Amino acid sequence: MPWPPGTPTRWQRPTWWHHRSTRTAWPRCWRRGLRHSGRPERRRYPYLDIPPGPTGRPRPIALSHRGFAPDGGENTLAAFERSVALGFAYLEIDVRASLDGVVMVFHDEHLDRVTGAHGPIAGRTAEELRELRVQGHGSIPTLEEVLVRWPELRLNIDVKSDDCIRPVAELVDRLEAHDRVLLASFSDRRRRRVLRLLARPAASSAGMLVNALAKLLAPVGLVGVVARRAGVQALQVPETYRGIRVVTRRFVAACHAGGLQVHVWTINNREDMDRLLDLGVDGLVSDAADVLAACLDARSSWPPAATPPDPRLP
């Protein structure tokens, strides 16, 4: 087929165009996705299964963000225990690696904000990190501690750094926790690397790039294609991003049509929770665990407490 008028000649075209893989890879992958009706492969991920409520409708997934820490002791065993006592079955946590390669539950790259110590978390061994206190309320736990202490909990694990990619995968394999975790990261590359190292598949949610692409293609019904190519089962997004409204009824419907769940973070206001649930979102991430529990209880979507609180914890 002749080139349209005004198209650069062969010698004016950029060098990358002449590489055959560049010209064929994208059309081929999009065609392959469209042949599957735009829906991701139907593998079952137990992490995303949640029993219906008394009304028969699916319960939303309620994720306690870094545990319930009104006193500021985020990502500590005490914060997680409070969430469990309220009835939460899902926690959203962050992980980084210590100097000796132990997976620690900690959000920031540096210790300063919540421990009063200085320097990066990667600059200290796990033993040294355990001596610190998070806002004076508890030590920094390891991911293994959390997985072992609460075998009934499901963990949304945000992999924060490249140095814990392999340790996270090895730990999930060793504890056979594949059905209990969802692996997430703002970096899609990092998320994919963890998944490739696992002995068995685990659920995952998209990073920023795939989220943006899904939002862009939602109006034309191609969210399922994006999900299948990215290998994700959920989009975890803010309600708005830089003044752009991400979560709308149309966006949620497009994601559901593509086989994706929509989880929204971080929602702490009761009115916002009700409004988003009315839009049909599948999950909410919240710092205000007590408010979210009350909201879902009013909708007959809240289970009883999963386990009694551990008396050994403050």
Annotated catalytic residues are 65, 107
> Helix, strand, or coil here: 252?
helix
Instruction: Return the amino acid letter for 280.
Output: G
In 16-102, which ranges are E strands? 61-65, 90-97
> Helix, strand, or coil here: 239?
coil
Closest CA to 213 of 24, 60, 11, 26: 26
Q: Contact at 8 Å (CB) between 66 and 287?
A: yes
The secondary element (H helix, E strand) that includes residue 166 is helix 165-175
Question: What are the tokens at 45?
Answer: 């991920």
> Helix, strand, or coil here: 308?
coil
CA geometry: angle 79, 83, 89, nearest 5 deg: 130
Closest CA to 143 of 155, 129, 161: 155
Token pair 């959000």: residue: 107
End-to-end CA distance of the chain: 73
